[in-house]
């Protein structure tokens, strides 16, 4: 702020100050002439570091990953040609419950009134379309019409994003970024959380005891919103008070410790791990905490719990016959914990059902690389410092089957499911967590979507380890529905990432065809701290997990349900 105190304070400075105050230390950008003055203002803030991205899709996904690490993030793009690409990553933030602040430059405020046709636009002088589109994919969209409106609108959008854990949109015309603006008031007005309504909290707790009354076999099912609500600690406290089994949805992996004695595995219908499936189906009461039941998590609707549920969401609680608004997940869990009756029946049953640890074959150095051997070696890489990103494809199944040591973090984008997400998202995440070892598991098809962002890992010397599993195509799609469209052009992936080095970069690209080559490559990656290491792991085209095949068949069946209103003649 010191430099800004002296000169003129502008709309751009106001935004910069708010971004810094809410905790953004980095902001992700792609420049364009509608946002250049704004970028100058953000750059001038001493607590913000600008991070350039190769394109706006990657820019928004990098910010999506940064929000996972930091709780909030910002992405700055130019009008239309930039923003429309960034909308995809913004959709991810919406689906994944992450407060990403999407900021777009826009036309000079005089242009629409003068009916000017401008570059980068649809070619007609109605410049409201981008703002209208943004409203659909954010919790709050604002378009700043005059400098005097900027403080109010910027604060409104950022507060909405922080409170609802969803993205917001702020549009700033090119001639307003440098316009004079008043200084911001206390940040608490933007960031202070809404606490639970005391009456609703008490009433919901009473309803919970009625729901659990007389139930013999309660189970807790954990969903991905637990992490977004920041309720992991309270969940452990509540689970220990209950004493019952705790199963996790796949996208919640990492949100409850896997070495905890009440952890009974990942509940994913037919492709569940450990004994989670049996425990969930045996239960007569199910406390769902932050769960999301979609076609993927329910394996094509075949794994929807069929008993009445108690559901604790981020800001409300529901029961078979009652709903309580303004009850925050973390507050409710810690409020309820001392009131529940300890009941470990499901743990006693779990001990009887718990499968023996699988026998894992260790390949000899010369053996051709297989998916199972990759999984075995990745398992050995995991430590308390690991943050593991798994991309859409068999990497989901390979990653979910791993055992996370205490402290290890797991990131997955299962609601939005954008192939290639993990490359920019891991980049954004790792900038915020240089202390952690970020590992990415990704397929060849996914990598081809966002490969350019490896060049930012090179530029900013981020030591991410990328294990690219090359099975020559879109295998998950093959299992859902095969066709020639599931084949892709092969690349020399190891050479490609080294091409990003040019004269000054230090990416390493390695190829592993055998178990021994993978073990050697992992050693190189673990020692390399000056940039990313990509290990291309080649496996047979048909070498995929049985979980993927099973899941693929059920999802295909769900996709293929005929229209309900089909007429008899058809």
Query: Judged by CB under 5 A, how many residues of this single chain contact Mg ion?
Result: 5
Q: Whole-number minimum distance, CB 476 to ligand DPX, in Å?
A: 3
**Binding test (CB under 6 A) with ligand DPX, winner from 32, 82, 107, 445:** 445
Q: Which of 471, 533, 538, 545 binds ligand DPX (CB under 6 A)?
A: 471
- Of 149 and 482, CB closest to ligand DPX: 482
What are the residues whose beta carbons fall under 8 Å from the beta carbon of 265, sequence distance 6 or more? 247, 248, 272, 273, 274, 275, 276, 277, 279
Whether 257 and 361 have beta carbons less than 8 Å apart is answered as: no
In angstroms, the CA 522 to CA 383 distance is 14
Cβ atoms 30, 63 nearer than 8 A:
no
What tokens were used for 285? 């009461």
Piece in contact with Mg ion (CB under 5 A), picked from 59-67, 345-353, 420-428, 464-472: 464-472
Query: Whose Cβ is closer to ligand DPX: residue 404's or residue 419's?
Result: 419
Establish if 420 lies at the interface with Mg ion (CB under 5 A).
no
* Residue 477 interacts with which of ligand DPX, Mg ion, none, CB < 5 to 8 Å by class: ligand DPX
Alpha-carbon separation of residue 83 from 57, 106, 131, 176, 310 (angstroms): 9, 10, 10, 18, 40
Any known ligand binding at 108? no
User: Can residue 474 be called a binding residue for ligand DPX (CB under 6 A)?
Assistant: yes
Residues numbered 442-461 forming contacts with Mg ion, rule: CB under 5 A: 443-445
C-alpha 73/C-alpha 92 separation (Å) is 13
Closer of 327 and 537 to Mg ion (Cβ) = 537
Six-digit token pair at 442?
């990704």
Contact call for residue 419 and ligand DPX (CB under 6 A): yes
For residues 383 and 513, which CB has a smaller minimum distance to ligand DPX in the complex? Answer: 513
Q: What Cα–Cα distance (Å) separates residue 427 from each residue in 45, 48, 174, 314, 518?
A: 22, 17, 29, 27, 23
Residue 393 engages ligand DPX in binding (rule: CB under 6 A): yes
Q: Does 446 bind ligand DPX (CB under 6 A)?
A: yes
Distance, CA of 193 to CA of 47 (rounded, Å): 23
Cβ-proximal residues to 402 (8 Å cutoff; 6+ apart), any chain:
375, 378, 379, 382, 388
Least separation in angstroms between CB 65 and ligand DPX: 16
Can you tell me which of 111, 171, 444, 536 binds ligand DPX, judged by CB under 6 A? 444
Nearest residue to 369 (alpha-carbon basis) of 552, 474, 522, 476: 522
164 binds ligand DPX (CB under 6 A): no
Binding of Mg ion by 471 (CB under 5 A) = yes
Q: Does residue 477 interact with ligand DPX by CB under 6 A?
A: yes
- Measure the CA–CA gap between 255 and 263, rounded to whole angstroms: 11
Query: Nearest-CA neighbor of 471 among 446, 508, 439, 451?
Result: 446
Write the CB contacts of 223 (distance below 8 Å, at least 6 apart in sequence). Answer: 249, 251, 252, 288, 289, 290, 291, 292
Residue 394 interacts with, from Mg ion, ligand DPX, none (CB under 5-8 Å by kind) = ligand DPX
CB 541 to Mg ion: min, Å: 9
Tell me whether residue 278 or residue 545 sits nearer to ligand DPX (CB atom). Answer: 545
- Identify the helix (H) or strand (E) that includes residue 374: helix 371-381
**DSSP code, position 262:** T
Compare residues 111 and 394 and give the one whose CB is closer to ligand DPX: 394
Strands (E), 386-501: 386-390, 409-412, 437-443, 465-470
> In angstroms, what is the minimal distance from the CB of 148 to ligand DPX?
41
How many Å apart are CA 180 and CA 13, to the nearest integer? Answer: 9
Which DSSP letter does residue 10 get?
B
Of 29-37, 149-157, 277-285, 445-453, the window that binds ligand DPX (rule: CB under 6 A) is 445-453
The option from Mg ion, ligand DPX, none interacting with 419 (CB < 5 to 8 A, set by class) reads ligand DPX
Contact predicate 209/340, CB 8 Å: yes
How many residues at the interface with ligand DPX, by CB under 6 A?
A: 17
DSSP 286: E
Task: Name which of 125 and 417 has its Cβ closer to ligand DPX.
Answer: 417
Asked if 450 interacts with ligand DPX (CB under 6 A), we say: no
Which among Mg ion, ligand DPX, none contacts residue 399 (Cβ within 5 to 8 A by kind)?
none
Shorter beta-carbon distance to ligand DPX: residue 264 or 476: 476
Q: How far apart are CA 510 and CA 494, in angstroms?
A: 5
Maximum CA pair distance of the chain? 77
Q: How far is the CB of 368 from Mg ion (least distance, A)?
A: 17
Is 471 a known ligand-binding residue?
Answer: yes
Nearer to ligand DPX among residue 239 and residue 468 (C-beta): 468
- Cα 554 from Cα 300, distance rounded (Å): 5
Determine if 547 is a binding residue for ligand DPX (CB under 6 A).
no
Residue 476 binds to ligand DPX (criterion: CB under 6 A): yes
Closer to ligand DPX by Cβ: residue 343 or 415 = 415
Query: Least distance (Å) from Mg ion to the CB of residue 445?
Result: 5
Nearer to ligand DPX, 413 or 498 (CB): 413
Query: Which of the ranges 4-12, 15-23, 42-50, 439-447 carries the binding residues for ligand DPX, by CB under 6 A?
Result: 439-447
Please state the residue numbers annotated as binding site for Mg(2+): 444, 471, 473
Residues in the site for ligand DPX, rule: CB under 6 A? Answer: 392-394, 417-419, 443-446, 449, 471, 473-477
Residues in the site for Mg ion, rule: CB under 5 A? Answer: 443-445, 471, 475
Please state the residue numbers annotated as binding site: 444, 471, 473
């Amino acid at each position: 702020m010191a430099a800004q105190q002296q000169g003129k304070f502008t709309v751009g400075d106001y935004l910069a100050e708010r971004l810094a105050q809410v905790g953004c230390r980095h902001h992700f950008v792609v420049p364009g002439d509608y946002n250049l003055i704004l970028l100058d203002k953000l750059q001038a803030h001493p607590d913000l570091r600008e991070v350039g991205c190769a394109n706006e899709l990657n820019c928004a996904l990098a910010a999506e990953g940064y929000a996972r690490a930091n709780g909030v993030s910002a992405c700055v793009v130019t009008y239309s040609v930039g923003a429309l690409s960034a909308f995809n990553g913004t959709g991810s933030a919406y689906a994944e419950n992450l407060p990403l602040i999407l900021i777009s430059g826009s036309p000079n405020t005089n242009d629409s009134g003068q009916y000017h046709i401008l570059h980068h636009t649809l070619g007609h002088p109605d410049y409201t379309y981008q703002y209208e589109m943004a409203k659909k994919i954010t919790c709050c969209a604002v378009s700043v019409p005059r400098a005097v409106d900027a403080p109010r609108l910027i604060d409104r959008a950022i507060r909405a994003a922080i409170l609802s854990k969803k993205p917001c949109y702020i549009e700033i015309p090119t001639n307003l970024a440098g316009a004079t603006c008043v200084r911001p008031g206390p940040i608490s007005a933007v960031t202070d959380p809404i606490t639970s309504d005391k009456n609703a909290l008490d009433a919901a707790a009473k309803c919970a005891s009625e729901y659990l009354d007389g139930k013999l076999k309660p189970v807790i099912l954990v969903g991905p919103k637990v992490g977004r609500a920041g309720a992991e600690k309270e969940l452990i406290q509540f689970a220990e008070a209950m004493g019952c089994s705790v199963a996790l949805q796949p996208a919640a992996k990492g949100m409850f410790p896997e070495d905890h004695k009440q952890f009974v595995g990942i509940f994913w219908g037919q492709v569940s791990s450990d004994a989670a499936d049996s425990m969930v189906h045996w239960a007569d009461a199910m406390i769902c905490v932050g769960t999301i039941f979609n076609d993927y998590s329910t394996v094509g609707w075949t794994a929807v719990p069929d008993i009445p549920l108690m559901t604790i969401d981020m800001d409300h609680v529901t029961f078979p016959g009652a709903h309580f608004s303004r009850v925050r997940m973390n507050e409710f869990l810690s409020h309820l914990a001392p009131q529940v009756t300890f009941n470990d029946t499901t743990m006693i049953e779990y001990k009887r059902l718990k499968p023996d640890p699988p026998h894992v074959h260790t390949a000899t150095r010369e053996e051709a690389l297989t998916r199972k051997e990759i999984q075995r070696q990745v398992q050995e890489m995991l430590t308390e410092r690991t943050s593991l990103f798994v991309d859409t494809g068999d990497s989901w199944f390979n990653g979910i089957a791993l055992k996370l040591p205490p402290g290890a973090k797991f990131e997955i984008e299962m609601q939005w499911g954008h192939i290639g997400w993990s490359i920019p998202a891991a980049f954004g995440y790792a900038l915020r967590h240089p202390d952690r070892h970020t590992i990415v598991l990704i397929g060849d098809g996914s990598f081809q979507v966002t490969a350019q962002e490896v060049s930012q890992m090179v530029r900013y010397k981020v030591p991410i380890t990328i294990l690219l599993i090359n099975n020559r195509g879109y295998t998950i799609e093959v299992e859902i529905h095969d066709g020639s469209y599931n084949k892709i052009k092969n690349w020399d992936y190891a050479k490609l990432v080294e091409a990003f080095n040019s004269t000054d970069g230090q990416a390493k690209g390695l190829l592993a065809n055998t178990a021994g080559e993978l073990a050697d490559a992992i050693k190189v990656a673990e020692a390399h701290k000056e940039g990313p290491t990509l290990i291309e792991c080649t496996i047979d085209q048909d070498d995929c997990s049985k979980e993927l095949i099973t899941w693929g068949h059920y999802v295909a069946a769900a996709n293929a349900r005929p229209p309900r209103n089909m007429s008899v003649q058809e």
